Structure formats: C-alpha cells, structure tokens
Copies of this chain bind each other. A is one copy, B any other.
Amino acid sequence: MKTIKIGVLGLGTVGSGVVRLLQDNAQKITDITGCELKVKTVVVRDVTAPRNVDLTGIELTDDFNKVLLDDEIQIVVEVMGTIETARTYIKQLLAKHKHVVTANKDLIALHGPELSALAKENHCDLFYEASVAGGIPILRTIVNSFAADQVESVLGIVNGTTNFILTQMTQNGLSYAQALQLAQEKGFAEADPTNDVAGKDAAYKMIILTQFAFGKDLTLTDVKLEGIENVAVEDIKEAANLGYTIKLLGIADLKNDKLDVSVGPVLIPAKNPLAAIQNENNAVLVTGKAVGETMFYGSGAGELPTANSVLSDIIAVTKDIVMETTGNRFNSYSNNVALAPASEVIYPYYLSLTLPDRPGQMLKLTEIMAKHQASFKAIKQTSASHKQAQIALVTHAMSEATLNAVKEELKALPEMELLAAYKVLGGNER
C-alpha cells in the first residue's frame, strides 16, 4: 500500500486536531483512499513546549527545512496563522512541488490568487476549505454543486465571536462590553478582539466566498465594512419589536451583473433561517438561480471541526495524487464582474438617531430625507432624556448613495446624531 507522508507547520489548536484525527480515523481513511496517511514532521516555534497530542513516530522540529527539503513529504499542512511567514513558506513549498493545505483565511484572502497561480504552475494542489466557516464544507460545495448554476447571493454568518456576542446581547440583554467579556472568558474572543468585532475576519471570509461563488477576486477595500462595536442593546430590542434579529452578516450580492459585497450589522427577519443561528455557530445561505435558497450550518471554529475540514482537503489531495490529477485550481471559476456603484445598491435601512426633544425636529428630519427622495414606513420615539429624544425608523428601499447623502447632511447638523444605519433584509432588496 502506498504511504503518503505529511508535514505540518504549527501545532496549535487546529494542528493538534489534524494529528489527532489522522491517528483516530486511520483505518477509514485508508479504506477510502487506498493509501496510508502519516504525519512525518511537525514544525513548531518551541519544541520544548508541552503538547496534548500523541507525537509517537513524528519528528518535532523548529527547522522548516526539515519539511521543505524532505523529498518524502508530499503534502504540507500550514496552520501557523501568520501571514507573511506563511506566504513565504508556502511559495517555497510549492516551488518544491509539495501540495499545500492551509486554514489561513487572512493569507488566502490577501494572496490567494498569487498562491493559486503558483500552485497550478507547479502542478500542485492548494486547498483551503478550513479557511471559511470552520467545519462547514462550503467552498467545495460551491465548486461542486453550483458549477452549473448562477449564484445570486451569498449571505454568511461567518464569524463566531461576533455572533456569540450579539446572541448574548439579544437573548440575555447583556451590553456589548459584558457580552465581549463573556466571549473572552469562554475562549470565543481573543484578548485583542479587534479583527473579529470590527468585521475584518468576516470580510476576509467573504472575499474567499466571493471568489468561489462569483469568480471575482476582491481586495479588502472592495468590501464595505462595519463592525458590531456600536450595536446598542436598544437597537436589538427595537429590531425585535419590529420582527428582526440583528446579526453581523456578510453579503455578496449580484444584481444586474454587478456585485456588491459588505459586512455589517443587518436586521434579519425572524422567519429567515439565518435569524436562528445562535452563539458561536456559523451558517452560509447561498441562493442560486436554479437551486433556490440553500443553507449550510455548523460549527464555525474549534479544534476538531476545523481540523476535519483540513482532513477533507488532505484526502482530496491524496485522491488527486493517486489519480495523477494534481495541479487543478481549487476553484476554476473566474468572472470579472463589475462592482455595483452606490446608486445601484438598494436596501431598506434601520436608522437610529438622537435629536432635541422639542417641536419641529421630526419635521426637520423628514424634510432632510424628503430632499434626497428617502422615505420611511415606520418611525418611533424609543426614549427621551436630558431634552434628547432617541428615535428609530425603517426606511423604504433606497440606494446606498441616498443613504450616504442623508448621512452627510445629518453630520452637518450638530443637534442630530445618527447612531446606527443598518440594512434590513427581506424587504424590497431582491
């Protein structure tokens, strides 16, 4: 029987999970692939650190060359989690004709096209199923099952940290700060949570999803980005009164052959399956012209779910090695579609703002909106204090350009402050 030797870069949570799953499920993997898969070498920064995984028969080293220069090693798993070092290493590995599996979303979002081209050039596989939505096999599903369909939209709850925080705020009335602290205590948020709460992590994942679903390469600046730091419990309650749940949602939407990609707090109707996704779980709702609405739900992170996605990539590489079909891109769909201008991105919005609690202010707000052809279907004073009133309103569908104009005009008025402007799903946006 053929034995395929594997190198692993990094032995943190995911790396340990990969070693463990390969040991635990060796027989099934052999049954399916006809090969024995063996981790030969693991590269770590500190070889003396204690490890909670059985490393019998595996060389632990801090020398990357032990993997790079070992001709026996055919597949390398990169789970270090840096960007530049990982990029350098992977380029060297591909140049040595080693197949690479990575869970590194930042790297793939920033340098995916470069690395994919290099892999193809060297007849190598480069797979990264684990980079998006942990245990949910969403990338390979898009490749295999939407090939003959036209994806119309991808909506993703793809960041477990922010979904945990918003769930806690919604269900238990915690403030943002309290919910963040709880997430940190439970290990769902890092000490510096910026990348998660500011939406950057979700934006990286949406870049990768957009590449697969629409064949379009984006950079981070193409993604309109807003985090959850300013989401107030009052907005969550008001949204609930209106029949919505606030989620940090990645949206990639193709309309009139133009693409719009954003990450931000969104009001989701309670009957939408995404509204029910709780805590650290992830879900991706893909709408295809033929297939309609499909949703894929599962654990967004964690040692074993993520490691399982890495394993599915390792097995895909192994099959390709056996059949001598390596070197095909993970996603071969490419379509240089244009990005939608702000005038063509149409949604209803939830607005929350403060204004002086005196006659004439509502009229003034209404006049500002009317001037830009913006109108609302519901408006409500939600609280009043210190001569300030807080109001919430839901607009009719309007363009992002209109929203921006209203925002500008409000910014110029010292007495009014716009606290929130969130998209509302399930209205006229489709």
Question: A interface vs B, CB < 8 Å?
Answer: 17, 21-22, 25, 28-29, 31-33, 129, 135-137, 140-141, 144-150, 273, 276, 288-299, 302, 304-305, 307-309, 311-312, 314-316, 323, 325, 328, 332-335
Q: Which residues of B contact A307 (CB under 8 A)?
A: 290
Q: A290-B308, A333-B28 are in contact. Are A316 and B150 (CB under 8 A)?
A: no
- Contact present for B315 and A32 (CB under 8 Å): no
Copies per complex? 2
A154–chain B nearest beta-carbon distance, Å: 14
- Contact present for B308 and A291 (CB under 8 Å): yes
Q: Which residues of B contact A136 (CB under 8 A)?
A: 294
> What 10 pairs across the A-B complex have the smallest Cβ distances?
A148-B311, A294-B298, A137-B145, A290-B304, A135-B291, A295-B297, A290-B308, A291-B308, A323-B325, A292-B299
Candidates B28, B144, B291, B325; contact of A325 at CB < 8 Å: B325
Q: Which residues of B contact A33 (CB under 8 A)?
A: 147
- Contact present for A292 and B288 (CB under 8 Å): no
- Contact present for B147 and A144 (CB under 8 Å): no
Candidates B21, B32, B292, B309; contact of A135 at CB < 8 Å: B292
Q: Which residues of B contact A296 (CB under 8 A)?
A: 294-297
Candidates B25, B141, B311; contact of A137 at CB < 8 Å: B141
Candidates B292, B308, B334; contact of A149 at CB < 8 Å: B308
CA A33 to CA B315, docked complex, whole Å: 22
- Contact present for A298 and B302 (CB under 8 Å): no
Candidates B150, B292, B297, B309; contact of A145 at CB < 8 Å: B309
Q: Which residues of B contact A293 (CB under 8 A)?
A: 298-299
CA A350 to CA B311, docked complex, whole Å: 40
- Contact present for B316 and A144 (CB under 8 Å): yes
CA A333 to CA B31, docked complex, whole Å: 7
- Contact present for A149 and B311 (CB under 8 Å): yes
CA A401 to CA B290, docked complex, whole Å: 46
A7–chain B nearest beta-carbon distance, Å: 17
Q: Which residues of B contact A298 (CB under 8 A)?
A: 291-295
A296–chain B nearest beta-carbon distance, Å: 6
Q: A145-B312, A276-B273, A276-B276 are in contact. Are A304 and B291 (CB under 8 A)?
A: yes
Q: Which residues of B contact A148 (CB under 8 A)?
A: 21-22, 25, 28-29, 308, 311-312, 314-315
Candidates B145, B290, B316, B325; contact of A21 at CB < 8 Å: B290
A386–chain B nearest beta-carbon distance, Å: 41
CA A141 to CA B141, docked complex, whole Å: 7
Q: Which residues of B contact A289 (CB under 8 A)?
A: 304
13 A-B residue pairs with Cβ-Cβ distance under 8 Å, sorted by A, are A21-B148, A31-B335, A32-B332, A33-B147, A140-B145, A144-B312, A145-B312, A146-B308, A148-B311, A273-B273, A291-B298, A291-B304, A297-B297
Candidates B21, B297, B302, B308; contact of A273 at CB < 8 Å: B297
Q: Which residues of B contact A273 (CB under 8 A)?
A: 273, 276, 297
CA A183 to CA B330, docked complex, whole Å: 42
- Contact present for B25 and A315 (CB under 8 Å): no
Q: Which residues of B contact A290 (CB under 8 A)?
A: 17, 21, 135, 304-305, 307-308, 311
- Tell me which of A144, A299, A323 has the highest count of chain B C-beta atoms within 10 A of its own C-beta: A144
A110–chain B nearest beta-carbon distance, Å: 25
CA A305 to CA B286, docked complex, whole Å: 13
